[in-house]
Amino acid sequence: MSKAETLRFAMFGLLATLAPLASSAGQERQMGGDVGITVFTSRNFHGRSATFREDVPVLSRFGLNDRIASLRVARGEQWEVCANNYFKGRCVVISGQESNLARNAWANVISSLRRVTGPATPPTTLPAPAPPSDWYIVLFDQPNFRGTPTNYTRAMSSLSRAATRSVTIGKGVWELCEGANFSGRCVTLEQSASDLGRYGFRGRVVSVRPLVRQPR
């Protein structure tokens, strides 16, 4: 073998060694940037991935409808993910990261997503203008709309209820959160829910508020 051939083989070996490293670095950049939400088709942040920095009303355009199994949200941001197109159906507001959405019954069901809070753009779901005066929600301390009911017609940032396990949406779109001042795990509901445990709630709802969606 000539010296030239030996050199070419040596360079080929070096490139083969560096290729996986370059691919890994690219994957790390995808797995959670400074802005937006990064989604993965497999749990533990594996599989096909994509990072979104703007609202996505129809994930099927990207070949990701009902295929998301784990996700990461940029620090300081919150995103709403929904089971149907155009932010309808079952929805939940998320932050941080989730390595296995199956734990919360959200694996392979997400069809649309949008930023709720974050540094890049104004919120897409706002508590203003004020909702119609006939909007109301009823919270029950037992599943299947049983137990003691409590009616609310406006935002409540800190509830002293012992438990909330089901809700009736009398009218409107409402956000329920486990923490005070609409923090922690939150869910957006447009219809009644007989068991909040299906949304990951364990009987604790500390704040509620009506939401008025901006026209699209």
Please tell me whether the peptide bond between 129 and the residue prior to it is cis, using omega within 30 degrees of 0: yes
Mean residue pLDDT of the chain comes to 78
Average pLDDT of span 156-162? 85
For residue 53, give the nearest of 67, 38, 42 by alpha carbon: 38
For 120-155, write each residue's pLDDT tens digit.
444 444 344 455 668 889 999 999 999 888 999 888
Q: Domain tally for the chain?
A: 2
Alpha helices in 31-100 (DSSP H): none
Span 33-40, average pLDDT: 84
Confidence check: pLDDT of 77 > 80: yes
Asked whether residue 12 is domain-assigned, the answer is: no
The CATH number of residue 58's host domain is 2.60.20.10
Instruction: Say if residue 81 is in the same domain as residue 59.
Output: yes
Which tokens is 196 given? 């909040």
The mean pLDDT of 201-210, rounded to a whole number, is 88
CB 132, CB 172: distance < 8 Å: yes
Task: Kindly state whether residues 101 and 49 are assigned to the same domain.
Answer: yes
Weakest mean pLDDT among 59-68, 121-130, 166-175: 121-130
Total-model pTM: 0.45
Residue 14 backbone zone (phi > 0: left; psi -120 to 50: alpha; other: beta): alpha
What burial class does residue 31 get, using C-beta atoms within 10 Å of its C-beta: 0-12 exposed, 13-18 middle, 19+ buried? Answer: middle
**Structural domain span for residue 68:** 33-120
Q: In this structure, are residues 151 and 210 in contact, taking their beta carbons and an 8 Å threshold?
A: no
SS3 per residue for 136-160: EEEEEEECCCEEEEEEECCCECCCC
- Asked whether residue 5 is domain-assigned, the answer is no
Residue 52 counted as domain residue: yes
The verdict on 104 and 144 lying in the same domain is no
> For residue 123, what pLDDT is reported?
40
Decide the pairing of beta strands 125-126 and 207-213: antiparallel
Asked if residue 167 is part of any domain, the answer here is yes
Task: Tell which of 71, 98, 120 closes a domain.
Answer: 120
**Domain closes at, from 87, 103, 120:** 120
Query: Is 13 among the domain residues?
Result: no
- Distance separating alpha carbons of residues 39 and 31, to the nearest angstrom: 8
Point out the domain boundary residue: 77, 105, 120: 120
pLDDT at 129: 46
In a domain, 19, yes or no: no
Please report whether residue 160 resides in a domain: yes
One domain for residues 48 and 88: yes
**111 and 137 both lie in a single domain:** no
